[in-house]
Chains A and B, each alone.
Chain A
Amino acid sequence: MIACENITKTYKTGDAQTDVLKGISFEIKKGEFVAIIGPSGSGKSTLMHILGTLDRPTSGKYFLNGQDMLKLSDNELAGIRSQKIGFVFQSFNLLPRASVLRNVMLPLVYDNNVKKEKREEKAAQALLSAGLDEDKWHHLSSQLSGGQMQRVAIARALVNNPDLILADEPTGNLDSKTGDIVLDAFCRLNKDFGHTIILITHERYVAEHADRIIEMKDGLIVADEASSKTNLLKEK
């Protein structure tokens, strides 16, 4: 479903050039749960921005569902983000003044294919999948705990039924217990609903929840292998 061919990204500040990505190639199939792991500065966030069509690579090719993303205009990319990609951020990025339901419905506002009357129904569905109790749905998002906020954010990423969910350090702002709950939510979305998930993290423990781990260092992929969890399952 995702195919990256020799993606590079270079930032220029004045005369100085920084090569953040130095030729990344990989493929991800539909229904895969992949973790991209690497220390800070390894280029994993930049890669995620490119995968999420928020940024364009300096060179290389990026196909999503067989469509060449680099040939699309900014507005077409916005359409791709609204219909095919769901983001989950480290700092949740919820609208604090809006209710949980309104937060989850936000992506649908930018998707003209979804009728207004359908929005609430879809949001409710997504919140159920993300595992947030119904009595919280009308609270302001600022009144929730961190774990609840991240589940609202996951529901928001799910609401337009995207082909790809991109999660950038989703447990980075959570304690380990709520982090586990959120990671379980991702696992369930992958196993039970078949969503394709790319999880960006710098923690090996978090990455082990995925089926496959792509390890990055200094803008290059240094390892691409099945996680120990998958290996264990295979050995059994």
Chain B
Amino acid sequence: MVLTDLIGETYTSLLSNKSRSALTILGIVIGIASVITMVSIGQGSTKDIESNIQALGSNLLVVSPGAQRSFGTMVRSSAGSASTLTEEDAEAIKQSVENLKAVSSLVSTNQQVIYKGNNTRVSVYGIDSAYQSIKSLEAEMGSFLSGEQISKGAKVAVLGPTVRGDLFGEDSDPTGQKIKIGDQQFTVIGITKAKGSSGTSSADNIIYVPISVVEHYFTGNKSLSSINIEVVSDKLMASAEEDITSLLLVRHKISDAGSADFSIMNQADIMETMSSVSGTMTLLLGAVAGISLIVGGIGIMNMMLTTVTERTREIGLRKSLGARSADIGSQFLLESITLTFVGGAVGILLGIAASFLVDKFGGTTTVISAWSIILSFFVSAAIGIMFGYYPARKASLLNPIEALRYE
């Protein structure tokens, strides 16, 4: 039996059951298309996160209170779960560590914010005057917190664009309006420019107020949520990190670096953590899509088993006409491979189209990678072989006499 005969047989038999073949192919199409779309969404968000973090600058160190943690648990929704960092620590770092451009203390707290009927729960960052330049924050509307407002502890607030949207509506100008944070009244003096999401917490869903205000009205103590440090150049990052670590260990009277009550992250660490998070997300999305691909494969197996049963007599006849078991087996195997192949090709096109649409209208960046297409292609071929093998083998092993008698 030559290949062209096999192809001819496959063609006729698949076409003779058009709707069944089409439905079976649809299962694979959906599977492959969702794998490609999901992976492209995952990859897109990885790219987003990386470019956001890169935009923050690469020579930033963040000292947080609490024990050193592994990468997986490093991303915390609320900083400052332990209160071991103080203003004095920040002052000491500023004084004794070399090659630092700026040191900024931050106290953060979650508060209910109310403006008239609207309310939302956001992170309130109490910042000092160095914070704006370190994080390169800019006011889109009104002005940012001035040095004087910060040092005097004025009850003024700068809102992130998301907070503005929640409280006042998009594109409104709330400067000069009074809002309530917790039970305190603040005057809105500006809106920051949108920075986009950098992973788990949005830089746009934050209210900035002077640090002394937060310490006085909300946290009630002098402990810091984090110390942000800008190093002069990224080559000096490692030495600065070492210096800060040893300084804080001495100040906190800890001899063993392993049991430190603070942790220092640099941009590389943060990026690695974020990438691992979005990598996990990509994997998760891909796995969910992969399950639908497997379901599609089972659909193929189901159809092939039905076909084998339906064509039992034909198989018997072919064997009596001189078909070897391998001829019968390859005929059915080729049918299932053709189904997955066609489904795979259509699915790839559909997946690319869907990714494009999500990118265009879904508000999420998608990145279609060559490997996800190549992988889907081979996965679909492999599914054809895997799920087609059992029915094909069943067909090839049919006893010709039994098969001929089959009604």
- Chain A residues packing against B (C-beta within 8 Å): 49, 52, 54-55, 74-75, 78-83, 87, 89, 93, 95, 97-98, 106-107, 109-112, 116, 156, 160
Contact = CB atoms under 8 A, between A and B. Distances in A.
Given A75-B325, A78-B324, A109-B5, 19 more contacts: A78-B319, A78-B322, A78-B327, A79-B322, A81-B319, A81-B322, A83-B322, A87-B321, A93-B313, A93-B314, A93-B316, A93-B317, A95-B314, A106-B318, A110-B322, A110-B323, A110-B327, A112-B2, A116-B2
Q: Which of B16, B316, B322 has the most CB of A within 10 A?
A: B322
B5 A97 contact: no
Contacts of B314: 93, 95
B401 interface: yes
Nearest to B323: A110
B12 interface: yes
B250 interface: no
B324 A75 contact: yes
A65 B321 CA distance: 19
A143 B313 CA distance: 19
8 contacts: A49-B401, A54-B319, A55-B401, A80-B322, A81-B320, A97-B12, A110-B1, A110-B321
Interface string B375-402: 0000000000000000000000000110
B4 interface: yes
Contacts of A89: 317, 404
Interface of B: 1-2, 4-5, 12, 16, 313-314, 316-327, 400-401, 404
Contacts of A55: 401
B4 A54 contact: no
Contacts of A54: 319-320, 400-401, 404
Contact of B321 (A49, A82, A97, A98): A82
Nearest to A110: B322
Given A109-B1, A116-B2, A156 B400 contact: no
A81 B321 contact: yes
Contacts of B401: 49, 54-55
A129 B321 CA distance: 19
B321 A107 contact: yes
Contacts of B320: 52, 54, 81, 87
B321 A156 contact: yes
A99 to B, nearest CB: 10
Contacts of B12: 97-98
Contacts of A81: 319-322
Contacts of B319: 54, 78, 81
Q: Which of B12, B313, B316, B404 has the most CB of A within 10 A?
A: B404
A110 B2 contact: no
A107 to B, nearest CB: 4
Nearest to A159: B321
Given A55-B401, A93-B404, A95-B314, A111 B322 contact: yes
A54 B404 CA distance: 10
A110 B318 CA distance: 9
Contacts of B324: 74-75, 78-79, 110
Given A74-B325, A109-B5, A110-B327, A97 B318 contact: no
B399 to A, nearest CB: 8
Nearest to A111: B322
Contacts of A78: 319, 322-325, 327
Contact of B4 (A49, A107, A116): A116
A-B pairs, top 7 by smallest CB distance, nearest first, are: A82-B322, A110-B322, A78-B324, A107-B321, A81-B322, A93-B317, A54-B400
Contacts of A74: 324-325
B218 to A, nearest CB: 80
Contacts of A93: 313-314, 316-317, 404
Nearest to A119: B5
Nearest to B326: A75
Nearest to B314: A95
Q: Which of B2, B12, B324 has the most CB of A within 10 A?
A: B324
Q: Which of A81, A98, A109 has the most CB of B within 10 A?
A: A109
A55 B316 CA distance: 12
Nearest to B6: A109
B405 to A, nearest CB: 9
A87 B317 CA distance: 9
Q: Which of A80, A93, A111, A156 has the most CB of B within 10 A?
A: A93
A97 B318 CA distance: 15
A160 B2 CA distance: 17
Nearest to B16: A97
A10 to B, nearest CB: 15
Contacts of B316: 93
Contacts of A75: 324-326
A107 B16 CA distance: 21
Contacts of B313: 93
A166 to B, nearest CB: 9
A110 B2 CA distance: 8
B317 to A, nearest CB: 5
Nearest to A48: B401
Contacts of B4: 116
B88 to A, nearest CB: 88
B58 to A, nearest CB: 67
Nearest to B313: A93
B31 to A, nearest CB: 30
